[in-house]
Structure 1
């Protein structure tokens, strides 16, 4: 049996006033209200409010909301921090995602009726409390004037669904079914770690459920017989009234594909695109930076380190709210895209993403392990997938990739990983825009996963992952050409460095591994070793396409 650490709600901040906000169905959600000024002399006059709705304890140390609220109130904002339904001090069922539109609307309505509110509300937050902003915006409440979601997406979290007609789909995250067994099982957070060597995860889940003596609604909604409950009116988060959005994405955020999918969806909706402002930073999901000072690259940040983190985390949103909530300044003066060229301290501005002046460059994999300017002779390359010897994930925690900043070079030494290298760069090259890989894949097993990693290899041989993508091929006995999105890049590759591509069929435990027999990876079962094949050379061989802003690739 795993050791389960139960995390109850922390004491409410003495800087706040507790509130219980009644939803339309009678459920009461717990909130803390922070007003400007000292508690004994708080400014209760009408003013602008920032709402934060989260499932990680409005009073807890993990998200340090009291420190964030203090920072916001110093700028004159009223702050409402709320535990979402079923979490910590809030009533109701701990049911992922589906109540956030209505609960967001009802909370906004409550705020507008308070004596300290002037009727204008903004929202801020990361991850799930970025998702609750999209949900509140979808509710259409007129009081919501702007949102600032960070490292999140409207399709956050749910398991991958298979349809009868598809041959290709996303690879399942290892965290997918764990999240409702830890963060969203009940009011308290439950911290426990699976035995990753067993891989019979469904059985381990049932052992935990038996140990807790109750079932979890969110887990049972998803497994083993998934029930799809609607998240948004009309099934579309962008179907209704738009609001100004400062949309922050991290280059190394493992949730970034969900963010970029929202960027693409917004681009198809003129009313949202008109109010969409993009900010891209060299951060991961937990806001560690690529160029972090060594003393700040620590798992447990001190209060002093958290306070030092607040300006770079919160000031962009406050500047945005100054224009779109308070009406100070003109929308035309706010950059449509602000982006960091990773590997430098530069935060650049552009009218579009990708920025103007980029060009696409394609390099071709060769049988001798090169990335070449022209295709070489045609050849078939093979690699194995052994469910008992999986390619390891490089970072111990995918959400804090830049905390460990792993060297991925050793992974390329495995015989179940294909490796391709460019020549060394003779001058710096700036990449800015999408990266894609195209390859033909087949397997002697029924299902094959394909992972593609793009690395920056330094002269000392260490390799930093700068882009990645993965797809799952169903009915894999028949060859199929995959177009694998490696995400977006804003990155400077230095002279003397080279680019490297890794191809593999597992990345464990970040992603659930294939059994080789087609059995469900979550329940595991019978396994066997499979062999995957791809082609190099010729017009249709394995190719990498990058978007270059400055410089020339070898």
Structure 2
């Protein structure tokens, strides 16, 4: 068995008073109420609903609540259903809309509430905001979700007839075995040197009092349970949103999917404010001070982190909850040009002045704006027992490691394409995508594309990435690969590099080469040869969005 860190509820703090919120089906949710200076008169409230222990060290909610109270807010922090001190079954995602609505009902009935509520939080407790907003509760005046998405944690599902699909995260099936295995949290990791993932999961489950509901909902065949009252998180009443996305957040694709959905909903788009920062999922920054780039932050470091994390939300709530100022005072889009300390303001994303530029891969590993007329194929060997490794120990804190990705390019199973150094700084602002025509000797092929900034000393920082899977891969097919969004300054003398590979392990589940499910049937492996077309009309090409400067 692996080493397991069993986390039970931490001691409740002195700043809050405990309460129990009874839901419509009788489940009682453990709740802490923070009142500034013990003031029981009616005031504005910030609600935080999370599964990571409202009193635990990981999310430092008591410090967050203290900071909000200093600005006059009442704060309600709650363990979601089935977690830590709350009753009910630990079931991912599906109860959050109803439980959020019931909690809002409870808040507005309290003597310290004036009926106006906002919500704040990261990741899963960003998701609980989207869920509560989907209920349409009139007391919810604004939300500030960070590094999250309405499709958070959703497994990749097969659609009949589709040859392409997303590549599955390894965390998808592990998460319900750690944070949602039971009321308590069990932090453990798979032995990634083995391929019997499902067997390792079953060995862990055997030591629990009962099977985790969420794991059995997804393995071996994912079953969808409705998350939102109307089936669509944006089908109902809109709520003002301060939507924070991290350039290096591994969950950013989920955030950008929500941005795209909101753009199709005029009422939601009217109230949508986008903030993009050079952070990863755990709020490490690209330009972090060396002394702050540490895994275990001290209380002093956490307190120093709170203003840059919470002040944008407080400014947003001042307008949309308290009615002080005008919505025009809040930028529609505020974004960091990564590589600088600069925060820019625009009316839309991407900025209207940005333009699309295509770079095509060529023979000899070139990356240029002109595309070769003739197509040719290059190949590499995908050995499931020797996968291309993920570069950061923890995908959620990529910027804590900030790895040099250049060494991966020396592997035989990584194709490398590189531009000439730029003579002037180039600012990117907008989407990045790749199109590639690929095939394989195996039935299923995963294609990973990474975009790197290579410095004159040869070190390389990853600035964008994407991946896509081709089914029935013995017949060539085209992959449209979304590499996300980019706000980045490429300095003079630097160059762009592209890495193409078949694995990114253990962040993503590796194909065994047989076409079988990597989680349940990945023990038997077969080596495949992969082929990529370069040149010609369908050869590998990247489309980048350039705001200022020229690549050639």
Instruction: Sort the TM-score into its range (normalised by shorter chain).
Output: over 0.9
Shift of 1:96: 0.1
The residue number in structure 2 matching 1:465 is 462
Shift of 1:378: 2.5
Of residues 335, 346, 349, the one that matches 1:350 is 346
The residue number in structure 2 matching 1:528 is 526
Name the SS of the counterpart of 1:535 in structure 2.
strand
Alignment map for 1:35-184 (pairs within 5 Å): 35-37=35-37, 42-184=38-180
Of residues 533, 544, 547, the one that matches 2:545 is 547
Aligned-residue RMSD, C-alpha: 0.7
Q: Give distance in 2, aligned partners of 1:480 and 1:18.
A: 58
Shift of 1:539: 2.1
The residue number in structure 2 matching 1:401 is 398
Q: Give distance in 2, aligned partners of 1:106 and 1:213.
A: 29
Q: Give distance in 2, aligned partners of 1:122 and 1:217.
A: 31
Q: Check 1:88–1:140 CA distance in 2 against 1; reply closer, same or farther (3 A cut).
A: same
Q: Give distance in 2, aligned partners of 1:373 and 1:236.
A: 41
C-alpha offsets along residues 444-473 of structure 1, whole Å, 9 cap, x if unaligned?
Answer: 100000000000000110000000000011
Shift of 1:3: 2.1
Q: Give distance in 1, aligned partners of 2:397 and 2:130.
A: 24
Q: Give distance in 1, aligned partners of 2:71 and 2:315.
A: 11
Q: Give distance in 2, aligned partners of 1:525 and 1:305.
A: 44
Say yes or no: does 1:423 pair with 2:423. no
The residue number in structure 2 matching 1:287 is 283
Q: Give distance in 2, aligned partners of 1:14 and 1:188.
A: 22
Of 305-314 and 218-227, deviating more is 218-227
Shift of 1:102: 0.3
C-alpha offsets along residues 480-502 of structure 1, whole Å, 9 cap, x if unaligned?
Answer: 11111100000000000000000
Name the SS of the counterpart of 1:352 in structure 2.
coil
The residue number in structure 2 matching 1:260 is 256
Q: Give distance in 2, aligned partners of 1:384 and 1:237.
A: 42
Contact 2:230 2:236 in 1 (8 A): no
Q: Give distance in 1, aligned partners of 2:291 and 2:3.
A: 31
Shift of 1:234: 2.4
The residue number in structure 1 matching 2:337 is 341
Name the SS of the counterpart of 2:230 in structure 1.
helix
Contact 1:101 1:135 in 2 (8 A): yes
Q: Give distance in 2, aligned partners of 1:100 and 1:365.
A: 46
Q: Give distance in 1, aligned partners of 2:375 and 2:442.
A: 24
Shift of 1:227: 2.0
Of residues 533, 536, 539, the one that matches 1:538 is 536
Of 213-222 and 91-100, deviating more is 213-222
Q: Give distance in 2, aligned partners of 1:191 and 1:535.
A: 43
Name the SS of the counterpart of 1:107 in structure 2.
helix
Q: Give distance in 2, aligned partners of 1:418 and 1:86.
A: 46
Runs of 4+ in 1 over 2 A off after TM superposition: 211-214
Of residues 228, 234, 238, the one that matches 2:230 is 234
Q: Give distance in 1, aligned partners of 2:538 and 2:282.
A: 39
Where does the alignment leave 5 or more consecutive residues of structure 2 unmatched?
none
C-alpha offsets along residues 323-342 of structure 1, whole Å, 9 cap, x if unaligned?
Answer: 00000000112110000000
Name the SS of the counterpart of 2:36 in structure 1.
coil
Q: Give distance in 2, aligned partners of 1:2 and 1:358.
A: 50
Of 210-219 and 409-418, deviating more is 210-219
Name the SS of the counterpart of 1:316 in structure 2.
helix
The residue number in structure 2 matching 1:27 is 27
Contact 1:519 1:525 in 2 (8 A): no
Contact 2:438 2:531 in 1 (8 A): yes
Alignment map for 1:441-520 (pairs within 5 Å): 441-520=438-517
Contact 2:319 2:327 in 1 (8 A): yes
Q: Give distance in 1, aligned partners of 2:158 and 2:359.
A: 33
Q: Give distance in 2, aligned partners of 1:261 and 1:227.
A: 21
Contact 1:469 1:485 in 2 (8 A): yes
The residue number in structure 2 matching 1:13 is 13
Where does the alignment leave 5 or more consecutive residues of structure 1 unmatched?
none
Q: Give distance in 1, aligned partners of 2:75 and 2:93.
A: 23
Q: Give distance in 2, aligned partners of 1:356 and 1:162.
A: 36
Q: Give distance in 1, aligned partners of 2:218 and 2:25.
A: 24
Q: Give distance in 1, aligned partners of 2:208 and 2:269.
A: 46
Q: Give distance in 1, aligned partners of 2:458 and 2:122.
A: 35
Shift of 1:372: 1.3
The residue number in structure 1 matching 2:4 is 4
Aligned length: 550
Shift of 1:224: 1.2
Q: Give distance in 1, aligned partners of 2:534 and 2:139.
A: 56
Contact 2:118 2:317 in 1 (8 A): yes
Give the TM-score normalised by structure 2: 0.99
Alignment map for 1:316-395 (pairs within 5 Å): 316-376=312-372, 377-395=374-392
